[in-house]
Amino acid sequence: MADIAIDLGTANTLIHLRGKGIVFNEATAIAFDESTNAVLAVGNAAADMIGRTPPSIRVVRPLSTGVVTDFAAARTFLQTVIGMVAKRNRFSPMKVILGVPSRISGAEFKTFQDALSSSKISKVFAVQEPVAAAIGSKIDFGQPRGCLIIDVGAGTTDLAMLSLGRVVESRSLRIGSDALISAFANYLKNQRRINIGDKTAEAFLHEYGQAKVLQPVTGTLGAVDLKLGLPVHVEVNSDEINSAIKEPVVLIVAELRRLLDSVPPDLASDVLETGVYLTGGGSLLKGLPELLTDETGLKFHHVSDPLQAVVLGCGAILDDMKAFKYVLESIPDEMKGNQGR
């Protein structure tokens, strides 16, 4: 059985199979029959059901803000998708490289480890997602120079300063693109008295969302008027969108300032030349690099493949674990005892 690398995200899960590359890239969602608890769908097929199911079907997103919130669903989801992409061989259990948020606690990692436990898996290793993204993007952080990377996912935003192949300082916020979606939906409910579903909010922000207004736009979305109790079409302009999502973005900027203030000055000044690397689906929000530049004076640029950088990095580690052993040892100390090394 081939070894695998997993980027288990709040919104999407990617799996890299040794020798084959990325073999799964779908939503982290699973649908059950309520009466029998049988699995009806996983991945994108399950996510498409969210908000549109009868009472007899339950759709679960087993992670929230980067943490397993439904252990049973997470375990079933992982076992199902791994069974779909990896051949069974009870005589050759697989090793797993798992991308995890920075500053993850030992208890949180143990939950991931337990969700993956089965007779088909011999050992689970972990690597911080910003580190995996840097490796997957072929960024050289082995020199004595500061390398700053920000991974904005659906549930978390992870920031890490790297140097000499190690993590100098890292921070993790339980804020990501899901927080932007919630903030937008809440704004419309409180200010416009209209109600929209998460999938509608996500699709609208994907098309019209801007962290900094670069170009005025107005979009139309379907909603329910809370006064009338009827479905309506409403227009929302870029200023409203920007105001709605401002608070989560400001928190990311504040955490970046704290990280830069906590590292040695020479490392922080290195970033003036190299800039800051952005990765993760949430980093693709229009206007985010420009807003971060306005707030810090630094240059921000995306890695070559923001959506797949983490799993590509985990796959590279999987292919040469001896060379990247230092990366696995760079995770927080309380996690080390859970890896069985």
DSSP per-residue string spanning 11-57:
SEEEEEETTTEEEEEEES-EEEETTT--EEEETHHHHTTTT---TTE
Eight-state DSSP code of residue 93: P
Are 95 and 188 in a shared domain?
Answer: no
Note whether residue 68 is domain-resident.
Answer: yes
Same domain, 125 and 252: no
Least confident of 108-117, 159-168, 313-322: 108-117
Quick one: pLDDT at residue 124?
Answer: 86
Neighbours of 300 (CB within 10 A): 19
Is residue 101 located within the same domain as residue 217? no
Q: What is the mean pLDDT of residues 330-336?
A: 42
Task: Flag whether 178 is in a domain.
Answer: yes
The amino acid sitting at 327 is V
| Position 92 pLDDT exceeds 70 | no
Nearest to 202 by CA among 247, 252, 245: 245
Residue 85 lies in a domain: yes
- At residue 324 the predicted structure's pLDDT band, cuts being 50, 70 and 90, is confident
Within-domain flag for 222: yes
pLDDT tens-digit map of 234-288: 999 999 999 999 899 899 999 999 999 999 999 999 999 999 999 999 999 999 9
Residue 60 token pair = 């679960």
Residues 274-309: tens digit of each pLDDT = 999 999 999 999 999 999 999 889 999 999 999 999
Q: Judge if 78 and 199 occupy the same domain.
A: no
pLDDT tens figures, 64-80: 988 889 999 999 999 89
What percent of the chain has a predicted confidence (pLDDT) above 90?
72
Q: What confidence score (pLDDT) does residue 327 get?
A: 82
Q: Where in the sequence is the domain holding 266, given as residue range(s)?
A: 142-303
Q: Would 315 be classed as within a structural domain? A: yes
Q: Does the pLDDT of residue 111 top 90, yes or no? A: no
Residue 113: pLDDT over 50: yes
DSSP 210: B
Q: Which residues on adjacent β-strands are paired with residue 8?
A: 13
> What is the average pLDDT score of the chain?
89
Q: Which of 83, 61, 68, 86 is nearest to 3 (CA)?
A: 86
Same domain, 148 and 295: yes
Element (H, E) at 200: helix 198-208
Question: Using CA atoms in the order 284, 285, 287, 291, what is the torsion angle rounded to 10 degrees?
Answer: -90
Tell me: pLDDT of 159 over 50. yes
Q: Minimal CA–CA distance to 339: which of 15, 16, 151, 112?
A: 112
> Is 201 part of any domain?
yes
Distance of alpha carbon 97 from alpha carbon 95, whole angstroms: 7
The reported pLDDT for the residue numbered 339 is 40
pLDDT of residue 119: 56
97-124 mean pLDDT: 80
pLDDT band at 102 (very low <50, low <70, confident <90, very high): confident
Residue 341 located in a structural domain: no
What DSSP character marks residue 190? I
pLDDT at 88: 62
Does one domain contain both 278 and 190? yes
Give the CATH number of the domain where residue 54 resides. 3.30.420.40
Domain co-membership, 20 together with 123: yes
Query: 45 with 30: CB under 8 angstroms?
Result: no
* pLDDT, tens digit, 9 for 90 and up, residues 23-54: 999 999 999 999 999 999 999 999 999 988 99
Please report the pLDDT score of residue 90 as a whole number.
61
184 belongs to a structural domain: yes
What's the structural domain count of the chain? Answer: 2
Nearest residue to 31 via CA among 8, 14, 54: 54
Strand partners, 151: 158, 279
pLDDT at 110: 80
**What are 156's two structure tokens?**
């978390």
* Residue 94 · residue 3 · CB < 8 Å: yes
Clarify whether residues 298 and 211 are in a common domain.
yes
Does residue 337 register a pLDDT over 50? no
Average pLDDT rounded to a whole number, residues 82-100: 80
- Domain co-membership, 153 together with 282: yes
Same domain, 62 and 151: no
Whether residue 175 sits in one domain with residue 155: yes
Q: Among candidates 242, 232, 327, 338, which has minimal Cα distance to 287?
A: 242
Q: Are residues 162 and 284 in the same domain?
A: yes
Q: Please tell me the predicted confidence (pLDDT) of residue 117.
A: 75
